[in-house]
Structure 1
Amino acid sequence: MAQAMKIAIVDDEQDMRQSISQWLALSGYDTETFASAEDALKVLGPEYPGIVISDIKMPGMDGIQLLKKLMGADSTLPVIMITGHGDVPMAVEAMRVGAFDFLEKPFNPDRMSELAKRASNARRLTLDNRALRQELSGGTQIMNKLIGASPVMERLREDILDLGQADGHVLIDGETGTGKTLVAHALHAVGSRAGKKFVLVSCAALEEEALSKRLFGPMMPEDAQLPAIEEARGGTLVLEDVEALSDTLQARLLSVMNEQGTPAETRIVAISNLQEAGKTSEDVLRPDLFYRLAALRITMPPLRQRGEDILTLFTRLSEQFAEEYGCEAPQVSAQEAAQLLQAPWPGNVRQLINIAERAVLQSRRGSGTIASLLMSDHEEMQPVMTTEGKPLKEYVEAFERMLIDNTMRRHKGSIASVMEELCLPRRTLNEKMAKYGLQRSDYL
């Protein structure tokens, strides 16, 4: 479950600090307040897990000076500035320095909540991206994150290796929650640009003017951040939600791509996250841009097409969450394994992660079933109907493989312990492990 984003509120007026804090706390944010910029700087840094809302006019260090220091430390930190009524020059200066946006007193609380939500989403994306880059610094490591032995996952890994070595632009599309951003990282990590810059921009997180500036500039000499197309020079620029680009920005992106020639100076990896029924990236992108991007294309397989990978992923995820929460991972029955395999998974891997975490939490309480979680999931993801059935033999084999895999993990590869728990003779266990591609060395 996503942790609530922090919001640092900096204002020398106590009443203003408290009113903003109370309003945002009611919206589910974790707020902390500071009476001065100097106090705030003792806490705010490059890894701050949230955003900042600051007044501009304060005694001592004012909001603009604070903003400059924050941008110098982390130019991706969203800072929302509060200006006095009619104080346009101050607002313009704040935006030039790098403010995410500004609020003019007296401001509408709903407008503040809307800005806080946009800024928090952008911050979460930045921090997730940063953590992923640190964790997955090598191509081998990131490919190991693409778990699964299903034919569609084998083909996906092959496509990544092939396209990673190519140098053209790439379009990644597919259903929501299938791991498109992870694949963008993998394409960068396994290719010749692995040691170069990897820059990710969410096209849906910024309004058009701010997005245009972030992508193409112009940037002022005082700005700490280069335009993304320059920042990623020689490396990879990933455009999430590419369908959110306006016609004007699509034309400008195409112009930049045409100017670069072949091989491209900056590789563009576009991610399409279309939610509208019956719409594809080809429907919303101008044709010349679409065909430039889709010359190399990866369509992510939905989870429901990955067969036994569902059980493998559920097991790994529930083990990770069990370790995090300090409890035992829930044991999956044959009926529950069949339910996991049959569910349509409209939210894909992202939904599976959610279900696995909730299964661990309810197991810790000693109540609930996986079936109840599947039925009570978010309204837009309710897997009430199951997908087309499979032969009983496939369900039995999938459960059997999961059971042996889980038992081997629990006993850290001890064949004797697994034989005793599953009441299997050694020869039968060896035959089944060979049948399911399980190797003892993987569990030691």
Structure 2
Amino acid sequence: MAQAMKIAIVDDEKDMRQSISQWLALSGYDTETFASAEDALKVLGADYPGIVISDIKMPGMDGMQFLKKLMGSDSALPVIMITGHGDVPMAVEAMRVGAFDFLEKPFNPDRMSQLAKKAANARRLTLDNRVLRKELSDGSQLMNKLIGSSPVMSRLKEDILDLGQADGHVLIDGETGTGKTLVAHALHAVGSRAGKKFVLVSCSALEEDALAKRLFGPMLPEDTQLPAVEEARGGTLVLEDIEALSDTLQARLLSVINDQGTPAETRIVAICNLQEQNRTCEDALRSDLFYRLAALRITVPPLRQRGEDILTLFTRHAEQFSEEYGCDAPQVSAQEAAQLLQAPWPGNVRQLINLAERAVLQSRRGGGTIASLLMNDHEEMQPVMTTEGKPLKEYVEAFERMLIDNTMRRHRGSIASVMEELCLPRRTLNEKMAKYGLARADYL
């Protein structure tokens, strides 16, 4: 259940602030009251998890001064001002300064509830967007989203950390659904440009004229958005589906790159998504542009090469969907684990996420198996043969790690509960956790 939105009520009249507080508390809000603006400012600041309702006329610091202080700290904080009869010009001035809205005394409590709901929704959206922006600029958060400890994923993370500190342009390639755009975000977040602009343009989403204008301009008087090469100046410009650029736009992009000199003012990260057989990004781009963009290169591994990461990803996403749909996550049998590990995964991580959601929905209805969903995705798959492709030992170890990981997660790190459910003595459990790189602290 979402946490109740806070409402700070600021009024020097005790009866007024108590009646407002009681009414809004009945509507489900978490209220706190202050007798003066000075007291409120000790608590209210940037990222306050709620909204403010304040009287305009108060002794000491009045409502207008209070509003200006709040706007200086967080201009997106919704502040509803309460005005006396005849103070409408002052209320209009408050709106100009940044107030969300105003209520004129005597006001209808239902009208106040409606305004509070509207302001709370706006505040929730603002705070959610700030959290998202923080995640997209926080290298550690993004690296945590690159789930997996397989050798190929460990190399990928090392490449991101190394290349993130470099200055050259980067080419990211790999199959569809492998997470190339997430890698581009991570490259930006772990490098020296982390606090600068991150601009993403899909080269396949626009017609050539519209794409040329989006990338290079010119700007018209009615335009509110800078061309991408200007918008990203000093930061990172990510070009998805770089292979979709026409020869003309490739030439213009090369000109922009050459004009920047070395080191580049703006880093360009090109994402190549070619799927045609026997065709590469090098084939699709003019050679001089390709070699400028591919000075540094990252190839994101396909899911089928990531071994036990497949089971980790599946169970993590299944848990997330089970919380979303309010049901238990499906249990993966040994045979289904082997099938997940052997599936070809042409759609990679994106396909796995879709499969996890369908498995949860199917489990909620009380029927079907993960194996049946896999067979629908891969009709050409043969019955699982655990001796094909990898030694049986690898499948057994992957399944064992998944079982311990899931059980530790379910019991929130309770060693005693895990020992009881898996019928393992403590020493054996400790040895297996050490073997698979599982730490109790991660589940507490």
Query: If the length of structure 2 is used for normalisation, what is the TM-score?
Result: 0.69
- Identity among equivalent pairs (%): 87
1:166 matched residue in structure 2: 166
Structure 2 equivalent of residue 152 of structure 1: 152
Partner in structure 2 of residue 319 of structure 1? 319
Alignment match, 1:436 = 436
Corresponding residue of 1:297: 297
In the alignment, the residues of structure 1 paired with residue 147 and residue 292 of structure 2 have an alpha-carbon distance, to the nearest angstrom, of 30
CA contact (8 A) 2:173 2:180 kept: yes
8 Å CA contact 1:169, 1:295 repeated in 2:
yes
Equivalent-residue separation in structure 2 for 1:273 and 1:133 (angstroms): 26
Residues 1:285 and 2:289 are matched in the alignment: no
Residue 295 (structure 1) shift: 1.0
State the 1:382 CA deviation.
5.4
**Deviation at residue 130 of structure 1 after TM alignment:** 10
Check the 8 A contact 2:137/2:195 in 1, yes or no. Answer: no
Give the C-alpha shift of residue 339 in structure 1. 0.4
Structure 2 counterpart of 1:204: 204
1:178–1:301 CA contact under 8 A, matched in 2:
yes
Written as runs of structure 1 = structure 2, the 5 A alignment for 1:13-412 is 133-377=133-377, 384=381, 388-412=388-412
Distance 2:244 2:436 in 1: 44
- Shift of the 278–395 alpha-carbon distance from structure 1 to 2, 3 Å rule, reads same
- State the shift of 1:220 in Å: 1.3
| Aligned residues between the structures | 313
CA distance in 2, matches of 1:263, 1:383: 50
Amino acid at match of 2:381: V
SS of the equivalent of 2:226 reads: coil
Give the CA deviation at 1:276.
1.5
Moved more, 182-191 or 367-376: 367-376
CA shift in 2, pair 1:427/1:365, >3 Å: same
Superposed CA offset, 1:78-133 (max 9, x none): xxxxxxxxxxxxxxxxxxxxxxxxxxxxxxxxxxxxxxxxxxxxxxxxxxx99964
Amino acid at match of 1:365: R
Q: Which residue of 1 aligns with 2:16?
A: none
Listed one character per residue, the Cα deviations across residues 348-379 of structure 1 (whole Å, up to 9, x for unaligned) are 000000111101110111111111111212xx
Matched residue SS, 2:137: coil
Q: CA deviation at 1:384?
A: 2.2
Q: Return the alpha-carbon distance in structure 2 between the equivalents of residues 171 and 289 of structure 1.
A: 11
- Who is 1:91 aligned against? none
Distance in 2 (alpha carbons) for counterparts of 1:152 and 1:274: 21
Deviations 1:159-210 (A, max 9, x none): 0011000011000000000000000000000000000000000000000000
Q: Which residue of 1 aligns with 2:88?
A: none
List runs of 5+ in structure 2 lacking aligned partners.
1-128
Give the superposition deviation at 1:329.
0.5
Which residue identity lines up with residue 314 of structure 1 in the other structure? Answer: F
Partners of 2:134 and 2:140 in 1: CA distance = 14
Following the alignment from structure 1 to structure 2, what is the Cα–Cα distance between the partners of residues 190 and 149?
Answer: 19
Give the counterpart letter for 2:205 in structure 1: A
Give the Å deviation of 1:227. 0.3
Give the distance between the partners of 1:270 and 1:131, measured in 2 at CA: 26
Secondary structure of 1:269's aligned partner? strand
**Closer/same/farther in 2, CA of residues 234 and 440 from structure 1, 3 Å limit:** same
Distance 1:136 1:211, change over 3 A: same
- Corresponding residue number in structure 1 for 2:425: 425
1:147 Cα offset (Å)? 0.8
CA–CA distance in 1 between the matches of 2:428 and 2:400? 12
Determine if contact 1:433/1:439 at 8 Å carries over to the other structure: yes
Task: Name the CA shift for 1:256/1:310 in 2 (closer, same or farther; >3 Å).
Answer: same
Structure 1 counterpart of 2:292, which letter?
R
- Where 1:290 maps in the other structure, the secondary structure is helix
Alpha-carbon shift at residue 300 of structure 1 (Å): 0.6
1:39-89 CA-to-partner distances (Å, cap 9, x unmatched) read xxxxxxxxxxxxxxxxxxxxxxxxxxxxxxxxxxxxxxxxxxxxxxxxxxx
* Greater Cα offset, 142-151 or 368-377: 368-377
Distance 1:204 1:373 in 2: 31
Match for residue 50 of structure 2?
A: none
Distance in 2 (CA, whole Å) between partners of 1:343 and 1:209 is 42
Q: Give the letter aligned to residue 333 of structure 1.
A: S
Aligned counterparts of 1:436 and 1:315: Cα–Cα separation in 2:
16
Q: In structure 1, the residue corresponding to 2:147 is in which secondary structure? A: coil
Amino acid in structure 2 at the alignment position of 1:287: S
**Aligned-CA RMSD value:** 1.6
* CA distance in structure 2 between the partners assigned to 1:286 and 1:422 by the alignment: 58
Letter of the structure 2 residue corresponding to residue 353 of structure 1? I
**Letter paired with 2:237:** L
Structure 1: stretches of 5+ with no match in the other structure = 1-128
Tell me: CA distance 1:161–1:291, structure 2 relative to 1, closer, same or farther (3 Å): same
Partner Cα distance (2:146, 2:130) in 1 = 19
- Asked if structure 1 preserves the Cα contact closer than 8 Å seen for 2:216 and 2:229, the reply is yes
Bigger Rg, which one: 2
Give, in whole Å, the separation in 1 of the partners of 2:248 and 2:238: 19
* Cα displacement string for residues 411-437 of structure 1 (whole angstroms, at most 9, x for unaligned residues): 000011111111111111111111111
Note the C-alpha offset of 1:139.
0.6
CA distance in 1 between counterparts of 2:318 and 2:216 reads: 43
Listed one character per residue, the Cα deviations across residues 18-50 of structure 1 (whole Å, up to 9, x for unaligned) are xxxxxxxxxxxxxxxxxxxxxxxxxxxxxxxxx
Q: 1:260 to 1:130 in 2, by over 3 A?
A: farther
Alpha-carbon shift at residue 135 of structure 1 (Å): 3.5
- Aligned mates of 2:137, 2:162 — CA distance in 1: 19
CA distance in 2, matches of 1:283, 1:308: 34
Amino acid at match of 1:230: E
User: Per-residue CA shift, 1:308-327, capped at 9, x if unaligned?
Assistant: 00001111000000000000
* Change in CA separation of 1:290 and 1:382 when aligned onto 2, cut-off 3 Å: farther
